[in-house]
Every structure is written in C-alpha cells, then in structure tokens.
Amino acid sequence: MLWKRLRLTLDMIKFEHSVFALPFALTGALLAFRDTGYQGAAVKILWIVVAMVGARSAAMAFNRLVDASIDARNPRTRTRHLPAGLLSRGFAWGFVAAACAVFFFAAWQLNSLCLRLAPAALAVVFFYSFTKRFTSFSHLVLGFSLGIAPAAAWIAVAGSLNPRILWLTAAVTFWTAGFDIIYACQDYEFDTAEALHSVPRALGVAGALWVARGLHVTMVICLLLLVSQLSMGALALAGVAAILGLLVYEHRLVKAHDLSRVNAAFFTMNGYVSVLFFLFWAADIYFLQRPGV
C-alpha cells in the first residue's frame, strides 16, 4: 500500500520531468569543477543530484497541495491525484516533509554555505505556488526557481558563488518562463473565469506566444554572453546553436489558433533542450577546456 501511494506521488509530481533543470545544474557543477579541479567530483555530483531531486519533489508536491482546489475546478486538471482522491492530503504533506529532509541532508553533505542557503532555496520554489493568485509574473518566478539550480551547483562545488554563472541562471529563468507561458495558454479561458493571473490572460494567447518567443531569444543571448564570460569553445557554441534550432521548432508547433501540440512543445522539446545543452557543454569542457588542450 505504501509503495502504491509512493508510486502515485511520483506520478503526481511528474518525477521524470526532473530532466528539465538537472542537466543545467550538472553543467553548473562541471563549470565549477573546471575552475576548482575535479577532486571528489563523483561524490559532489551524487549529492547535487540528490539535492535537486529532493527540492524539486518537495516543490511539486507542495504545488499540488496548494492548487488542489483550483485543479478540481479546471477540466484539464480535475483528474490529478489529489482532486481525484487517489492520494490523501496527509500523505502528500508527509511526502513534502520527507523530500525537504532529503534536500537538507544533501545540502549538509555538500558544504556549510549550501546548508545555510537551503531554506532560502525552498522558500523560492514554494513561493511560486502562490504567485498566479496575484501576479502575471508567476512564469518568471517559476523560471527563477529552476534558474537557481546551476548557481546552487556551482556553490556546491566551489563553496562560493562566481557571478559569471548567473548568466546561466538568467538563461534558465527566461527559458522556463517562456515554455511555461506556452503551457499556460491552454488555461486561458479558465484563468480568465477564475481571475487567476498569467501572461495569456493579460495579453491573450497570441500576445503570450510573442512574449514566450522574446524570452527564448533572451535566453539565447544570455547563453552567448556566458560563452564569452567563461571563454568556452566551439562545442559550447554549437550547443547554443542546437538549442536555438530546437526553440524555433518548438514555437512552430504552437499557434494561437491551434494549441493541440502544446504537450509536444512543452515536454518533448524542452527535454531535448536541457539534455543537449548538457551534452554539448560537457563535451566542450572535457575535450577543449582541459589543461594543455
């Protein structure tokens, strides 16, 4: 019974979507290792992954709890686990507590600064769940919730923050906000009826899609600035070009008058974006950034 509820909980929080932020966090870690050396790299990466999974799991379960009554009224989300009664709120709260404990333990294993910053990180990712009740900037708050991952990974490796990595934080923030706006277009009518705040509700679906395009262009600019700031090589630039191509294709999938392919744009394409980014940048660091190369 416990295993079944845990399986349902992992399905509720879309555990597999950890792929969105995790590759960017690992990239931040590799960039820090490039500066500090690779001693103890395997152990640090293990605890970074555990911390990322713990924080995201806590945040997603918390979001489902906070939004349960809204989800119950939305035809698109009323079959989610809490509104449908597949999981109890008590079990979900217990899962949030357990995930938070895992996150804090992983932060403690990394270094003292990570542990001191852990409550602030959780505050950011929990705060997002309330934002659509009062601001259309909720998409950017979600973006920042994921964007802090590479900066946090740098801190986990180096024990301090290098301002250069904040270009990657900005890139992830704008990328996430852009695809979240695309996803929110599905709920334009519901958000309007419920007086919930979103860019689609504020600007209409067509206007929201233009904002998403602008955010994704800004993401690419931030990545180019990161390449410059960190003196990355040709493979990193190729990775940025690949991401640009994927984003162009993503936006071709979604039209203001046809949102039938939003899920493909949201889940599939953005999964490719994060994984390909990591592969190109990891290859650049390994093949082009080693001493003597």
User: Domain spans of the chain?
Assistant: 11-286
Most confident of 4-8, 201-205, 254-258, 268-272: 201-205
Is residue 3 pLDDT above 70, yes or no? Answer: yes
DSSP lists the bridge partners of residue 255 as 258
Is residue 149 pLDDT above 80, yes or no? Answer: yes
The secondary structure of residue 264, as a DSSP letter, is I
- Top pLDDT among 8 and 71 is at 71
Q: Spell out a b/e string for 109-122, using b for 16 or more CB atoms within 10 Å of the CB, else e.
A: bbbebbeebbeebb
Model confidence pLDDT, tens digit, residues 240-289: 999 999 999 999 999 999 888 887 767 778 888 999 999 999 999 988 66
| Cα gap 106→114, rounded to integer Å | 9
Please compute the mean of the pLDDT values over residues 68-97 and round it to a whole number.
Answer: 91
- Top pLDDT among 15 and 65 is at 65
Give the pLDDT band (50/70/90) at residue 188: very high
Q: φ, ψ for residue 228 (rounded to 5)? A: -65, -45
Give the pLDDT band (50/70/90) at residue 9: confident
Which tokens go with 276?
A: 């390909």
| Cα gap 176→155, rounded to integer Å | 22
Please compute the mean of the pLDDT values over residues 70-95 and round it to a whole number.
Answer: 91
pLDDT of residue 15: 64
- Top pLDDT among 133 and 39 is at 133
pLDDT of residue 178: 96
* Average pLDDT over all residues of the chain: 92
- Top pLDDT among 60 and 7 is at 60
Give the pLDDT band (50/70/90) at residue 292: very low
| CA distance to 106, 197, 232, per residue, from 40 (Å) | 15, 45, 23
pLDDT of residue 85: 87
Considering the chain, what percentage of its residues have pLDDT values greater than 70? 94
Can you give the pTM of this predicted structure? 0.94
Give the pLDDT band (50/70/90) at residue 293: very low
pLDDT of residue 270: 86
Is residue 16 pLDDT above 70, yes or no? Answer: no
The CATH number assigned to the domain with range 11-286 reads 1.10.357.140
Model confidence pLDDT, tens digit, residues 209-243: 999 999 999 999 999 999 999 999 999 999 999 99
What ranges in the chain are assigned the alpha helix state H? Answer: 2-12, 22-36, 41-66, 68-73, 89-110, 112-131, 138-158, 166-184, 188-194, 199-230, 234-253, 262-263, 270-288
